[in-house]
Structure 1
Amino acid sequence: MRVPLLMALTVLLSGCASLSPQATALPQTQVPAAWSGSATTLAAATSLAQWWQRFNDPLLGSLVTQALQANTTVRSAQAALQQARALRDVSSANLVPKLSAAGSAQRSKSGDNEAGNLFKAGFDASWEPDVFGGRRSALNATEADAQAAQASLADTQVSIAAEVAVTYIELRGLQARLAIARNNLASQSETQQITDWRVQAGLASSLDLEQARAASAQTSAQIPTLETSATQAQYSLAVLTGQAPGALQALLTATGPLPQAPGELALSLPAETLRQRPDVRAAEHRISAALARVSQADAARYPGFQISGSLGLSALSLASLTTAGTVVNALLASVSVPLFDGGAARAQVRAQEAALEQTRMSYQATVLTALKDVENALVSLQGNRERLARLQTAADAAANADLLARQRYASGLIDFRAVLETQRTLLSTQDSVESTRASLSADHVRLYKALGGGWTPEPGTATR
């Protein structure tokens, strides 16, 4: 009679409960229809899962692949995902009844009576009906946490792949600039030798010779700086791929070409880009988790129910436990009703609602940052393209001027000041060309990253 009465009370209370509304809409964030000031072709979302292959550099591809497998940050994110999935399984297990087996042996003596034995064996079961959905909300929260951890792992992979590519491009750019500095040093040393001969012949002053020496020394001083930066880039690549700093030195010391991305890129629309980016998806899943925790906290304000029972055998000897043992069974139903807690339960609901608002604002910030990343990458890409074209023109002109100046100086037609100026201009423009070319390749990497490239998104996720 008590159990049906308890279940009737459960149904009655569940009908009277007023839980928090399950609003699932994401915060309204203004998303532009197209990218501003972009001359790049807009098209449907393109697959950028392995964008590094577009650079046609096998070494770059192998470094990125190794980093995605062995990088410590990636492996930490993988462990965080495993933890989140395990916690989800724990919450899922709380929804089903618990069953356990137990056995005991007791020997006791009272007064002058002979000692007696008591043996027991049986099963215990318990179940807490999820009347107000608190446990289901906890499961939904941990499920959303697991999805957010999976998206965070993808975001980590995107960041690591981009960092490896940018560092590799930086290394190749430094090697190219180092070659330019050495070539210019050789040319300046040749000019210095000619100046020395002219001074000995009385055709030039010692001032010209000292200026030539100063120019050569300045160029020579740039070489150790570039070599140091190149070595540091090698060390960074080794650590990014999960190895000791010097592990890749033999592989990367040889100079290689600067990776160049294809000139044209079909961009996805802003809304499609947001669906592609894993950090936006992670922020969306965190909203779902926070919303479920609001419901979980609200359900804690209502009565809790538990049904438990046991079934077993009891005997005075172990041999008779299964033959002549006494059957023992019990059934218990209980309810706990919070009467007064000083407002702690309601305060907990307010705390979870505040946490939900924080995740909403974090989502909006993530969306705005994603839009800014793409716009910044497009602006930088366009600016460096124009800069590179003009610098290449300047470098060609500087090379011609340097050749003419050295020829005329050797013939005694101009003074050394003109030669010194043209050599400085040549070195500066050639160095700027290689720096800008490396920046242009890095801009492509940053654009691929901003577009959410570097992972394969799971289907069926809609981002507003």
Structure 2
Amino acid sequence: MKPVLLALCLATPLLTGCAVGPDYVTPDFGVPKRWSSDRNQPAQSLKLAYWWRNLGDGLLDQLIGEAVAGNLDVAAAKARIREARATQRQAVGALFPSISGTGTATESRSAGSSTSGIAIAPSTYSQYQAGFDSSWELDLFGANRRAVEAASYGVDAAEDDLRATLLTLIGDVASNYIDARAYQARAALARRTAASQRETAALTERKQNAGSASAVDTAKASALAASTEATIPTYESSYQQAVHRLGVLLGRDPTALGQTLARATPIPTPRLPLPKGIPADVLVMRPDVRKAERQLAQFTAKIGQATAALYPDVSLTGTVSTTALKLGDLGKSSTIGWSIGPSLSVPIFNGGKLLAAVEVAEAQRDEYHVAWRSAVLSALEDVENAIVSLGQERIRIRSLSESARRYGEAARLSRSLYQTGSSTFLDVLDAERSQFTAEDSLLASRATLAKNYVALAKALGGGWRGAIDSSVPEIVDNSTGPHLMQTVETR
């Protein structure tokens, strides 16, 4: 079969469909029909457009928009798209003939001589030559077309890489914003609780002075207030770190959002459930999965490139030149020469280098096939984990809400009874400690719930749905034409 194909390709130089190597076919990956939490429910329609708006925080919406416009990782991903597109144009250029012009001008002087007593004086003459050289590789076995195919898949992969970067960015902005608001709230709770505990310590001291409380009770009351106050610096530090991270994610300096976030607002809370669709959706919605699939396609095409090197290479070359003794005579009173014909290059012996190159390409294709399968499995795992975490955190937050309410009632009641002498200080101490712990845990759980919502949206492939202009370079160079080179200082 191979000799027939070879003869066919050689007999029809203009045949455009002849190629070697495997043709890419999108692989099939069997995925479950439904998510584990939807086994007894009808499949939902996946809706992820601007999912972060369900958190109900206008400032967060604004910060995400600024991050998409200014993030440095996004800028780098845009540059990779421009690089991939330029590489594709380079590959397309190899399909067409190349033509170059040449020109020479020489001034010659012959030495004088004497023959049979006749002196010949030295002479000077000029010669001008101009011409064109052209060549066209017929690409009989599709090496260049496979290169174009691989470069086209590379463009797709670069665009999906940008979308993956945006997905990660939006999730990181939302998560760090939630952290910032949570640490603000927890620090404020610690301050309020410490102030209340200081009031209890003052009351205990008054009762000690009146002889109805001991110095041990007063010391314990002050110690509890100090212990609560000790949590404030930790929360403040974590808050500042979240704010600094948000500034960098927006492509600004770390302290740029200090004033913007200074006024405390509630922890964002998801207002609506997130429709999860079906597992097959991740194959088209997750940009990292799409990128892995495009890279698999790209490296499948590279096998064809390597395989084509095993076959003959046929090119058409041509030259046209004109020579004259005067510049003005070029093309008129001049000699004109031309040549045209095919050239054939056949690999005969190369020590197995070309076959090894094919094996390298096949091994790389296998690597990217495994990477694609791994990306699909990781995506499915991410969604399942996020579904479980979100559902369990909803259950946990209900229990913590009940715990915080009950401990709050117990603290108020024990403090009132202690003032009237109907309860011991140990009851007050235990109730206040438990109330703070329960309320702090509730705030942390609310933040975790919101972040689990973010994690689910990311796992499902929820990213930026707006247009992204990647055509504008980060740096615009000026004066790139011929000019005097400036001296560069070296250290």
**So what's the TM-score if we normalise by structure 2?**
0.88
CA RMSD of aligned residues (A): 2.1
8 A contact 1:45–1:272 mirrored in 2:
no
Cα pair distance change 1:91/1:203, threshold 3 Å: same
1:151 counterpart letter in structure 2: D
Q: Are 1:293 and 2:302 an aligned pair?
A: yes
Confirm or deny: 8 A CA contact 2:9 2:140 kept in the other structure: no
Question: Which residue, out of 204, 211, 224, partners 2:213?
Answer: 204
Q: Residue in 1 aligned with 2:480?
A: none
2:370 maps to 361
Alignment of 1:218-257 (within 5 A): 218-257=227-266
Q: Which residue of 2 aligns with 1:4?
A: none
Match of 1:34 in 2: 34
Moved more, 38-47 or 410-419: 38-47
**Superposed CA offset, 1:263-312 (max 9, x none):** 32221111023211111110110111011000110001011111111223
CA distance in 2, matches of 1:218, 1:8: 87
Contact 1:40 1:267 in 2 (8 A): no
TM-aligned CA distance change 1:39 to 1:216, over 3 Å? farther
Contact preservation (8 Å) 1:199, 1:209:
yes
SS of match in other structure, 1:251: coil
Shift of 1:9: 8.2
Residue 49 to residue 99, structure 1, CA distance change in 2 (3 Å)? farther
Matches of 1:41 and 1:397, distance apart in 2: 36
* Mapped contact 2:318–2:338 kept (Cα < 8 A): yes
Cα offset, 1:116, TM superposition? 1.8
Distance 1:423 1:9 in 2: 88
Aligned: 1:19 with 2:9: no
The aligned runs of 1:284-433 (5 Å cut-off) are 284-433=293-442
1:349, CA displacement in angstroms? 0.5
Residue of structure 2 in register with 1:177 after alignment: 186
1:13 deviates by 10
Match of 1:462 in 2: none
Q: CA deviation at 1:23?
A: 4.6
Match of 1:105 in 2: 105
Amino acid at match of 1:24: V
* Aligned sequence identity (%): 36
User: Residue 193 of structure 2 contacts residue 228 of structure 2 at CA under 8 Å; is this kept in 1?
Assistant: yes
> 2:203 matched to which residue of 1?
194
1:51 match: 51
Contact (CA 8 Å) 1:134, 1:297: kept in 2 or not?
Answer: yes
Q: CA offsets, 1:65-87, max 9 Å, x none?
A: 11111111111111111111110
Structure 2 SS opposite 1:115: strand
| Stretches of structure 2 lacking an aligned partner (at least 5 in a row) | 1-6, 113-121, 468-491
**Structure 2 residue identity aligned to 1:35:** W
Equivalent pairs counted in the alignment come to 450
Flag the 1:178–1:18 CA change in 2: closer, same or farther, 3 A: closer
**1:257 CA displacement:** 1.8
Residue number in structure 1 paired with 2:127: 118
Question: Displacement of 1:19 after TM fit?
Answer: 3.2
Q: Which has the higher helix share?
A: 1
Distance in structure 1 (CA, Å) of the matches to 2:140 and 2:290: 31
Within 2, Cα distance between the matches of 1:11 and 1:167?
Answer: 65
Q: Which residue number in structure 2 is paired with residue 127 of structure 1?
A: 136
Q: C-alpha separation between the residues in 1 aligned to 2:310 and 2:202?
A: 91
TM-score, structure 1 normalization: 0.93
